[in-house]
Structure 1
Amino acid sequence: MPDAPSQGLVVAVAGANSAQAMTIASALAQEADVSFLQEVRSPAIIEAVQKTGASLVLLVSAEADDLLLSTCGEVVAATQLPVVVFAESAPPDTAGQFVRRGASSFIVKGLSADRIMPIIETAMERHRLMSALQSELINSRNELSARKSIERAKGILMKQQSLSEAEAYDSMRRAAMARGLKLAEVAETIIALSGVAGEPRQAGG
């Protein structure tokens, strides 16, 4: 079971009618501060998130239409927060569209007081996991790119300055230490200079 949200949870709710707002307020009374907006419009929601410090956005709509889908994507992109979508009706295959736009949860005809908090907890945990996976993927790509640059720069030094692989690497390492740079940054400089000047200077020079 996901950990309960920490104290200080703030939820921005957009689009709820009076009855839905009462249901949400009742469900979250002991769990979160809730900020209500009448319209489901991206600029207003984003502004509310900034003002309230919301940690989750809840979109409520009678129908899961293109406007709601667009709003969901824009809010996710602008706030990087978990977004939960409640709709009274939705065409087939709609859930996948909302998930691809970044929604952490998409619920049809499920706005009941006893379900709201578990859905929010699950959405927040899913968002944390996806964010962690995305960070790991970005780091892996950066590391792979750095390794490729280092290998390419070593090859340039070996070919153009008649160095062994160990000598080329040591030259780059000393240059990085002397300049307070990462090895990959030195490698990128060598690659750039090789394209401009045809033959780079000694990396440690």
Structure 2
Amino acid sequence: MTNISPAIMLVDDNQERAHLVCECLKSAGYTIVAQISSAEGLLFQVEKYRPDVVLIDIESPDRDILESLAIVNREAPTPVAMFSSHNSADFISRAVESGVSAYMAEGITTERVAPAIEIAMAQFKSFQLLRQSLEKTQQQLSDRKTIERAKGLLMAKKKLNEEDAHKILRKLAMSSNATMHAIAEQLIQYFQSEH
């Protein structure tokens, strides 16, 4: 099994440095899918080239780049490693909130590139798993609320206790090969249409 190296998109506003970084990345076995000089239109570029990692090395990153990263993070989540001389806690915090997975408060060097890429990919993966887990938990809570509401309606309309209402929901779900949540939604709609 061959170990495929990540495809990198480099965003660097210094042409000379960008060339050196690209050479460094290529010699380390990385594939450069795109090299751009600003974060303008970053979402379009990410969707066009589909990099495994976005590597940003900009002299003075500003709010515009953070807004571009936030859009990418929302629309096409991708690991981002940022190298910057900005070392204020406030800026770093805003960068992380915008979707930066690894922030290096020093300039880019040959020694720092590979670890930054690995950190960005690991942090990104960890964050995505956490986000999926949270979304699943929120969905389960929402489903449970719907089921409880349907049980409450059954109890009120049919003069049942909670256990019997639950049994009816479960039986309907099994007989129609549907989830209890789906049956609960149908019952809620049915009872609402009665009014």
TM-score after normalising by structure 2: 0.87
How do residues 10-159 of structure 1 correspond to structure 2 at under 5 angstroms? 10-29=7-26, 30-34=28-32, 35-41=34-40, 43=41, 45-89=42-86, 93-159=90-156
Provide, for residues 161-201 of structure 1, a one-character-per-residue CA deviation record: whole Å limited to 9, x for no partner: 12233332222123223333211121122223333324xxx
Letter in 1 for 2:186: T
Letter in 2 for 1:38: S
Provide, for residues 97-147 of structure 1, a one-character-per-residue CA deviation record: whole Å limited to 9, x for no partner: 111112112223331111011011011101111110111111111112212
**Could you tell which deviates more after superposition, 163-172 or 104-113?**
163-172
> Once the two structures are aligned, what percentage of the paired residues are identical?
25
Q: Which runs of 5+ in 2 are unaligned?
A: none
Residues 150, 118 of structure 1: alpha-carbon distance in 2 compared, 3 angstrom cutoff: same
| SS of corresponding position for 2:58 | strand
Taking only aligned residues, the RMSD between alpha carbons, in angstroms, comes to 2.0
Cα distance between partner residues in 1 of 2:76 and 2:11 = 15
TM-score after normalising by structure 1: 0.83
Letter in 1 for 2:49: T
| SS of corresponding position for 1:181 | coil
| SS of corresponding position for 1:63 | coil
Q: Which runs of 5+ in 1 are unaligned?
A: 1-5, 199-205
Provide, for residues 53-80 of structure 1, a one-character-per-residue CA deviation record: whole Å limited to 9, x for no partner: 3111122211121112112212222211
Asked if 2 retains the 8 angstrom alpha-carbon contact of 1:20 and 1:111, the reply is no
- List structure 1 runs of 4+ shifted beyond 6 angstroms: none
Cα distance between partner residues in 1 of 2:101 and 2:57 = 14
**Could you tell which deviates more after superposition, 116-125 or 105-114?**
105-114
Residues 92, 183 of structure 1: alpha-carbon distance in 2 compared, 3 angstrom cutoff: closer
Cα distance between partner residues in 2 of 1:27 and 1:174 = 64
